[in-house]
Structure 1
Amino acid sequence: MKYEKDAAAIIAAVGGDENIASLYHCVTRLRFGLKDTTKVSPEQLKAVPAVVGVNDAGSQYQVIIGNDVPDVHRAIVTALPRLATAEPDPAGAGSSEPTTAEGNLAKRTFARFLDFISGTFAPILPAIAGAGLLKGVLALVNSFGWVDPTSQTYLIFSAIADAVFFFLPVIVAISAARKLGANPYVAGSLGAILVYPALTALLAAGDPVSVLGVPVTAATYSYSVIPALLGVYLLSWVERGLTRVIPSFLKLTVVPMLTLVIVAPITLTLLGPLGTFVGSGIAGGINWALDNGGAPAGFVIGALLPLIIMTGMHYTLVPFILQNLASLGYDKFLPLTYVQTFATAGAVFGLFLRAKNKQIKALSLSTTFTALMGVTEPALYGLALPLRRPLIATMAGAGVGGAVSLGFGVKAYVLAGNGGLPGLPGLVGETFAWALVGIVLSFVVSAVVSFFLKVDESILAPAAAAAPATSTGTASAAGADVTPVAPATLATAPASPAADEIISSPLTGDLLPLDDVPDTTFSQRLVGDGAAIRPTVGIVDSPVDGEVVTVFPTGHAVGLRSDTGVEVLIHVGLDTVTLKGDGFTSRVHAGDRVRIGDRLIDFDLEKIARTHDLVSVVVVTNPDGFSLAPGVSGPVRSGDALIRVSPADTNQTLQETNA
């Protein structure tokens, strides 16, 4: 499988199999529900060739892949088959709360809300986008008079395009249930009740309707989403409660029946009308701002849209966009997503025209075309965000395009699901000309601003050069907390030592082969080759003359770069990141100069050994171009020769040297 090695590396970097609660993907991103986001190694993820970038959106961890995300997702599911059917956390978060000190109730609640909305709509967007694009194509061919709108063929294709929107409550209910851990088919039945033809006709007749004496408000639920969301949320709680009290032999039939008997009437009498009212009110407020804000509002919203998209907050507007399309026949927010897409393409195109580094130039051109086709994540996360100034250019272009869009009342008539060239049929209508003006201006302005803004290409050039050195192997089931030395630190480092370099032992203890480490992340050399030591003294000394590159906040690991460019990671114990620094004291900081024997870390040997395996590893994280000859086994003292690093291949071990 093409992405087998990438999948293994991604699994390891997000904390291993046991840390993954759920996984799905949208158009460009893997979306992980993780039990503990502190176990994620962003740098290790970014070093995977298939990964463009990462985004921590509260309880959901997003790994940006690009066009090949289905293939990468398939490779991960092949490695971990349980993820094909794994349901998110029933609480609705999809994962446990991040264990960060700054977390608070408001932030956690908002993160759960974003995660619920995005987790519900991201999986169904392909269906909505496909049907929406077909509606746009039908509108286009009809506007040119190429078809007879009363013909049977046209009506059938219209039904194909419109069915997913008519039955949206059913689709939303199924997706929301999967996110909440409820039975998706029982939830789908609830959604079907909302659009059942006989019930719809009864409510539309104009006569009073009641259930068990409670009035049922007349409402049309076809094309709606919020009533289904509210109903399924209640259903998830009712279903869990009934499951706890109903005997096992009755659960198969009695729990679904009682769930529907309880939830459906409440949805029809309370939640459905409430959802319709709330949805109409919020959509009305958004539309008021879009209708009355004019060009200034368009500039502000357009300029902020790249940041909104990066946080995932744009998903919260999907229900209201769909409601506008259903009730008004158009939406004014969607055109802003088009100008943001083309602004992103323009920013990286301007970078392409200016860049000197060949790799960045090639990446800029390729991501320009990708963005023009509606997939902006590679450009946004791979170039604009790390280089910063292309992001400023994107915001400038999106602001200008947004001003034109709202200033001239540009409308989108279908949710095409693609803000690039393939999605243009979604804008076909009376304001199509102004839509094109806004799109072109957004691209041109971003390209010009990006071209004239000076960019520090060295930010990305070293990382691009180091990318081929990514580890290959299988993922750690234990999910070790490993982050290799940042690739950007290679900017001034020599490619390889001019002569043999000796990596000294940073620890005193018993030397053992890396193969014997009870963690496959290390034993299979996912982060580099080297040796392991079971320490008998709680002191870590520098094994090289060089610079401290990384000191982990928990104090359990440190990354160094020798004066000849060899990058060394020292990791004390296994999974010791979970101690959160308890028992560790760092003696150095990133950027410090060190010599062999300088103290790096003190650790409480006895305290840590009570709960964790103290086997520690010393690995070279940039092994390409080097030949390593680590010691094999036996006692070792701090300062003894541990690993020989050579510019040419050698099989010599250091046992004789240590002797």
Structure 2
Amino acid sequence: MDKQQLSKDILKLVGGEENINQVTHCMTRLRFNLNDNGKADKATLKNTPGVMGVMENGGQFQVIIGNDVPVVYNALVGNMSKAPTSESAGASTGEKKKRNPISALFDFISGIFTPILPAITGAGMIKGIIAILVAVGWMSDTSSTYIILSAIGDGAFYFLPIILAISASRKLGSNMYIGAALAAGIMHPTITALLEPGNSSFAGIPVVAATYSSTVIPIVIAIWISSYVEKAVDRVTHASLKLLVVPTVTLLIMVPLTLIAIGPLGSIIGNGLSGGISWLFDNVSILASILIGGTMSLLIITGMHYALLPIIVASMTSLGYDFIIPLMFAANWAQAGSAFGVALRAKNGQTKSLGYSTGLTAVMGITEPAMYGINMKFKKPFIAALLGGAIGGAFMGIFQVKAFVMTGLVGLPSIAAYISPSISTLIYAIVGGALALVAAAVITYILGFQEEAAPKAAEAPAQPAAEVNNTAPAAIEREEAKAQDQEVFSPITGEVRPLSEVPDPAFAEEIMGKGFAIQPTEGRVVSPINGTVFSLSKSGHAIGLVSDNGAEMLIHIGIDTVKLKGQFFSPKVQAGAKVAVGDVLMEFDRLEIEKAGYTTITPVIITNMHQYESIVSAGRTSIKEQELLYTAKV
């Protein structure tokens, strides 16, 4: 799929650049703060190829892309005249609209925690790796190597207030470095030592003893208040003195105020949150686990899961463990299980492929493709995922499963988070996740779902969004015939490769269809079947065919070669032409295409796989034109 074209389509459909107040992205979504959500064409966006779903949560307009979101985001930013300077600094093109306090709170929390996830995830994973190495006896917890690695893992958490100060300041539009200086001031070793006895004062005002390393709430409140102080001082200061006066006055006001009042209040709130969660899981663990595990996916849909982040971090830093991450783990694997259940029951080949691929992605901790692309689409699988999350959550609650490391992706790569002095916690976590997955898959299979009708032949061969717009107007229409076994002969001389080696997920994950790819050694394409040319892209890089036996095929010369706009391609047929095996369809300049920076690997696929049982390879690694490539079996 042409990410540039997709980004342009998204930019237009959200109401244009003038409607964008801010845009960021997380693992799978573009997150817009729009001046007017009503100007966005939500219905068209949902049906745009490459967009898995559209949501409005916490005041944000979210466009779900999947794993390719960083590429689409970069392309989107490149198409904007006032582009963000980073992932978390949006492009301001208008005044912010007023939102209700709850939406504003969720937006604020997500805005400050999403950008710092890489830092705390990396540090958390290092802590998990260290725990594994110590647990298996490969490292001593008294060695200098252990001490250095522990410092790497603990550093981001110890200095978390500074990291949060930078992120919160940027979100609030204040100076990030003043915010960092404020956090550094309250964490200075001299201040820490001064506060420990508990009898300190500032200008005669008592200062409450508190430790601010690894805390969350105190610095977030301090930066929020500091943003108003900084802007107020800035407004009344002459331009020639701003550099000197604004930071000086802001720090002189905010550091003492934080030590005297804001910090202690924030500490009380933070300790109360972590203590409350601890009490909940100590006294009604099973009920709480069922409730959170079963509704976690709903919280993610509404954006309310961001409200849990401060609680998780506070519990992790004050207690050394957290109960909520294991429940997220169960919920994520339940989403994976439902996607697998869809794949097992589906008859449509593309649905099967998408179910397996998104299910695997959810196992790794990224659930949006499975949740929005499969489970919510078919409705009943999503209900099964909620039930699976509740079942897995109940198991986690019974065995008091805790996470000892803060992780970003809550999936298979983060299982080190459950390593503790006893290996049993890890085992219980894996069993709980597997139970959620299996339960969701079984419930999905039993409940079933209304599968979409298979696409008609007139709609195939399917092509990426950017290429559909380049299809020549001339195209034949026919009723879908019952397919028969189809021998597919090689259209190109070259080396046979599996589709998994094609650098495009639509082909590599067999979303488009099944078959094989060929790395050409010559620049000519001949017909692999007896049939009709169904469509021919204007740029010449893609040819659609329908065989006399009912097989619908796509030959796609290179990846992203649509950008060449026909250069180096010379079509020899038109849409509607009857062809036989060996008839020349296209000539192309292989060397010039590769010099232009494009791979010429060519997928040769069956797109109506819902009518076929399997693809049987002819077993060749090198192949010439008209030699048998594979057979499609009904």
- In structure 2, the CA distance between the partners of 1:208 and 1:466, relative to structure 1 (3 Å rule), is farther
Distance 1:81 1:449 in 2: 49
d(CA) in 1 for partners of 2:364, 2:414:
8
Segment of structure 1 superposing worse, 409-418 or 287-296: 287-296
Alpha-carbon distance between aligned partners in 2 of 1:459 and 1:121, rounded to the nearest angstrom: 42
Among 141, 148, 163, the alignment partner of 2:155 is: 163
Amino acid at match of 1:445: A
1:279 is the counterpart of 2:270: yes
Give runs of aligned pairs for residues 71-470 of structure 1, distance below 5 A. 71-80=71-80, 82-85=82-85, 96-97=96-97, 108-204=100-196, 206-429=197-420, 430=422, 431-458=425-452, 468=463, 470=465
**What residue identity is the alignment partner of 1:180?**
L
CA distance, structure 1, for counterparts of residue 252 and residue 168 of structure 2: 19
Give the unaligned 5+ runs of structure 2. Answer: 470-474, 479-574, 578-634
| Distance in 1 (alpha carbons) for counterparts of 2:453 and 2:19 | 31
Shift of 1:321: 1.1
1:57 paired with 2:57, answer yes
> Following the alignment from structure 1 to structure 2, what is the Cα–Cα distance between the partners of residues 207 and 424?
40
Which residue number in structure 1 is paired with residue 584 of structure 2?
none
Residues in 2 aligned to 1:471 and 1:44: alpha-carbon distance in whole angstroms = 16
* d(CA) in 2 for partners of 1:444, 1:322: 30
* Alignment match, 1:521: none
Task: Classify 1:118/1:330 alpha carbon distance in 2 versus 1 (closer, same or farther; 3 Å).
Answer: same
Distance 1:459 1:15 in 2: 33
Deviations 1:506-539 (A, max 9, x none): xxxxxxxxxxxxxxxxxxxxxxxxxxxxxxxxxx
Normalised by the length of structure 1, the TM-score is 0.68
Cα deviation 1:292-346 (Å, max 9, x = unaligned): 2222321122111110111121111111211111111111111001101111111
CA contact (8 A) 2:52 2:369 kept: yes
Which segment drifts farther, 109-118 or 354-363?
A: 354-363
Give yes or no for contact 1:49–1:468 (8 Å, CA) kept in 2.
no
Are the equivalent residues in 2 in contact too, given 1:88–1:95 (CA < 8 A)? no
The 3-state SS of whatever aligns with 1:417 is coil
- Once the two structures are superposed, what CA deviation does each residue of 1:400-448 show, in whole Å capped at 9, x if it has no partner? 0000101110010001212111010001123222212211100110010
On the 8 A contact 2:21/2:91 being kept in 1, the answer is no
Aligned twin of 2:522: none
8 A Cα contact 2:83 2:90, kept in partner = no
Task: Return the alpha-carbon distance in structure 2 between the equivalents of residues 372 and 141 of structure 1.
Answer: 24
**Secondary structure of the residue that 1:374 maps to in structure 2?**
coil
Preserved contact between residue 36 and residue 96 of structure 1 (Cα < 8 Å): no
More deviation, 78-87/325-334: 78-87
Residue 274 of structure 2 contacts residue 318 of structure 2 at CA under 8 Å; is this kept in 1?
A: no
Separation of aligned partners in 2, 1:188 and 1:77: 27
Partners of 1:81 and 1:287 lie apart in 2 by 49
- The AA in structure 2 aligned to 1:405 is M
Task: Compare 427-436 and 309-318 and name the one that shifted more.
Answer: 427-436
Show the counterpart of 1:637: none
Say whether the 8 Å CA contact 1:88–1:181 is kept in structure 2: no
Deviations 1:462-495 (A, max 9, x none): 9x97984746899xxxxxxxxxxxxxxxxxxxx9
What letter corresponds to residue 354 of structure 1 in structure 2?
A: R
Aligned to 1:17: 17
SS at match of 1:219: coil
Map of 2:39 onto structure 1: 39
The 1:496–1:456 alpha-carbon spacing in structure 2 relative to 1, beyond 3 Å, is farther
CA shift, 1:118, in A, is: 0.6
Q: Percent identity?
A: 44
Q: Please list the CA deviations of residues 76-100 of structure 1 after superposition, one character each: whole Å capped at 9, or x if unmatched.
A: 2222263323887999xx97347xx
**d(CA) in 1 for partners of 2:455 and 2:302?**
26
C-alpha separation between the residues in 1 aligned to 2:343 and 2:80? 39
Asked if 1 retains the 8 angstrom alpha-carbon contact of 2:338 and 2:385, the reply is yes
Mapped to 2, the partners of 1:405 and 1:306 lie a distance apart of: 17
Post-superposition shift, 1:378? 0.4
| Cα pair 2:49 2:464 within 8 Å, conserved | no
Compared CA separation, residues 317 and 450, structure 1 to 2 (3 A):
same
- SS of alignment partner, residue 21 of structure 1: strand
Is the 8 Å Cα contact of residues 271 and 318 (structure 2) preserved in structure 1? no
Distance 1:290 1:472 in 2: 53
Task: State how far apart, in whole Å, the 1-side matches of 2:271 and 2:347 are.
Answer: 52
Post-superposition CA distance 1:257-283 (Å, at most 9, x none): 111111111111111110110111122
Larger RCO of the pair (alpha carbons < 8 Å, separation 6+): 1
Distance 1:459 1:195 in 2: 62
Partner Cα distance (1:460, 1:276) in 2: 58
Cα deviation for residue 459 of structure 1 reads 7.9
CA change 1:18–1:468 in 2 (3 A) is farther
Deviation per residue, 1:542-571 (Å, 9 max, x gap): xxxxxxxxxxxxxxxxxxxxxxxxxxxxxx
2: distance between equivalents of 1:466 and 1:455? Answer: 26
* Conserved? CA contact 1:90–1:179, under 8 Å: no
Question: For 2:188 and 2:461, how far apart are their aligned partners in 1?
Answer: 58
* C-alpha distance 155-73 of structure 1, shift in aligned 2 (>3 A): same
More displaced 10-residue stretch of structure 1: 192-201 or 334-343: 192-201
State the one-letter code of the partner of 1:151.
S
Deviates further, 47-56 or 266-275:
47-56
TM-fit CA distance, 1:58: 3.3
* Conservation of the 8 A alpha-carbon contact between 2:384 and 2:443: yes
CA distance in structure 2 between the aligned counterparts of 1:268 and 1:320, rounded to whole angstroms: 22
Q: Partners of 2:91 and 2:2 in 1: how far apart?
A: 34
Q: Please, what TM-score do these two structures have when normalized by structure 2?
A: 0.70
Separation of aligned partners in 2, 1:60 and 1:114 = 9
Over 3 Å counting, the alpha-carbon distance change for 1:258 and 1:297 in structure 2 is same
Are the counterparts in 2 of residues 13 and 40 from structure 1 also a CA contact under 8 Å?
yes
What SS class does the counterpart of residue 321 from structure 1 fall into?
helix
Is the alpha carbon distance of 1:313 and 1:461 closer, same or farther for their aligned partners in structure 2, counting shifts above 3 Å? farther
SS in 2 for 1:458: coil
- CA RMSD in angstroms comes to 3.0
Q: What SS does the aligned partner of 2:61 have?
A: strand
The DSSP-based 3-state class of the residue aligned with 1:84 is coil
Q: What is the rounded CA distance, in whole Å, between the counterparts of 1:82 and 1:369 in structure 2? A: 37
